[in-house]
Amino acid sequence: MIIENVKLALRSIRANKLRSFLTTLGIIIGVASVITIISLVQGIFNTIKVQQEQMGTNIITIQPYRATTNFIELLKEPPELTMEDAFVLKKQIEEVENLAPIVFSSCNASSKKLNHSSSLYGVYPLYQDINGQYVETGRFINYLDLKHRRKVCVLGREVVDNLKLGNNPVGKYILVDNVPVKVIGVMEKKGSFFGRSMDDYVFMPFTTVIDIKGKDLKKHIYIQLTISNLTKINQVKEQIIKILRTRHKIKENEDDDFKVQTQEDILESFEKTTSVITLIVAGIVGISLIVGGIGIMNIMLVSVTERTKEIGIRKAVGATKKNILYQFLVESVILSLTGGVIGIVLGFVLGFLISKLIPNFPGMYVPFGGIVLAFLFSSLVGVIFGVFPAYKAAQLNPIDALRYE
């Protein structure tokens, strides 16, 4: 019986090709848009995740941070982390493996007549181990550089290329904010992300950067640390918060003036963002599927009216109400499911094309669950919006239906 119903439904859909297509268009657009957007959002998220994971999961970053909820907060001195904070943490927390402060700024690098704006990081030698990012040619900054506040730098590939320093720039001098600095090494290439190069930076000794840029930079000091035992990461986080609150003399009812983030926290916040986007998209798509469903219901009602006589004939030769109900229900489910399948394919193609159109886009990814969900949801739409017309058909009185012209 089911096979017969499917055959009947396909025949009726084929008999009204254009109408069926227009009917399913709502579903097609809804499903295609959800698959497209999910494929892109998930693609971005996956790339971020991979990058975070490359950095190692045992990193904790502490940065000055104040939740500004009102004007008074804004008027206060901006919070900062000090070198003493870093030393105390290193000394008091047993699990700390490597700990180093880092300072962020920007600079203008130049060589001969070439100028290039770049990020300036004041780092400790441990930076390499903490971030899992190593020097390719030359050497990294060492403790002597730090101690003597040497004017040396390690460059990202992008800066090397922009300043046309050639294949081996080690030993050459460049100007960083008009201060002559010797290039001692070049870092491994990381590539680009969203069209933004991740190799556009200048590393210099922490102390040298503070010297060049002045005391103002202090509020840009972060502390990075790795721990030896990953299972204790939350404990360590608690300890850090406790120590820093005491050191910063924060009262019981006040918020922290710093933020402690593990790699997991960062991933989590990304995950939160993606899931919010996904939810919003799902909402929009839900609405468009309802609109699509109404379209299907409308056309199924037309179909029932058009085929009143057929329904009468079928009842006269022995069809039960259930037979008729299923016949029309199967038809609406096939309509919406076809729309769903076309939508999934179209969404894939669109997601692929868009990811190719955006330069350096990380590539799309559609989770299997998304496809299953789109599939289930579109068949559900077929059932929900098909029930009423099908029920109407099943309830027709055979005598009236036979008389219908």
Partner 1 sequence: MNDNILIKLDKVSKIYKMGEVELKAVDRISLRIKPGEFLGIMGASGSGKSTLMNILGILDSPTEGKYFLKGRDVSSLNDVEASVIRNKEIGFVFQTFNLIKGLTAFENVETPLIYAGIPKKRRREIVEYYLEKMGIADRMNHKPNQLSGGQRQRVAIARALVNNPSILLADEPTGNLDSKTTAEIMELFHQIHQEGKTIVLVTHEHDIGRETEKTIVLRDGKIIEEIIN
Q: Which stretch binds partner 1 (CB under 8 A): 11-19, 84-92, 233-241, 372-380?
A: 11-19
DSSP letter string, 25-64: HHHHHHHHHHHHHHHHHHHHHHHHHHHHHHT-TTEEEEEE
List all residues 6 or more positions away from 266 whose beta carbon is below 8 Å from its beta carbon.
Answer: 52
Would strands 201-205 and 114-123 be described as parallel, antiparallel, or unpaired?
parallel
- Separation between Cα atoms, residue 23 and residue 28, nearest integer Å: 9
What's the closest the beta carbon of residue 405 comes to partner 1, in angstroms?
A: 9
Q: Does 11 bind partner 1 (CB under 8 A)?
A: yes
Q: Does 18 bind partner 1 (CB under 8 A)?
A: no
User: 53 or 306, CB closer to partner 1?
Assistant: 306
What's the closest the beta carbon of residue 290 comes to partner 1, in angstroms?
A: 30
What's the closest the beta carbon of residue 312 comes to partner 1, in angstroms?
A: 8
User: 15 or 72, CB closer to partner 1?
Assistant: 15
Choose, by CB under 8 A, the member of 2, 15, 67, 72 that binds partner 1.
15
Q: Does 12 bind partner 1 (CB under 8 A)?
A: yes
User: 316 or 372, CB closer to partner 1?
Assistant: 316
User: 12 or 224, CB closer to partner 1?
Assistant: 12
User: 199 or 310, CB closer to partner 1?
Assistant: 310
Helix axes 321-357, 17-54, angle to 10 degrees: 50
**CB distance 343 to 27 below 8 Å:** yes
Q: Assign 204 to helix, strand or coil.
A: strand
Distances, alpha carbon 277 to alpha carbons 34, 48, 155, 193, in Å: 11, 16, 37, 20
Q: Show the site string, 376-405: x = touches partner 1 by CB under 8 A, - = not.
A: ----------------------xx--x---
- SS (HEC) of 116-170: EEEEEEEECCCHHHHHCCCEEEECCCCHHHHHCCCCEEEECHHHHHHCCCCCCCC
- Number of helices (H), then strands (E), belonging to the chain: the values are 14, 12
User: 287 or 399, CB closer to partner 1?
Assistant: 399
**Residue 250 CA to its chain's centroid (Å):** 35
User: 57 or 320, CB closer to partner 1?
Assistant: 320
What's the closest the beta carbon of residue 22 comes to partner 1, in angstroms?
A: 20
Q: Under rule CB under 8 A, which residues in 285-344 are in contact with partner 1? A: 309-310, 312-323
Q: Provide the binding-site residues for partner 1, judged by CB under 8 A.
A: 1, 4, 11-12, 15, 309-310, 312-323, 398-399, 402
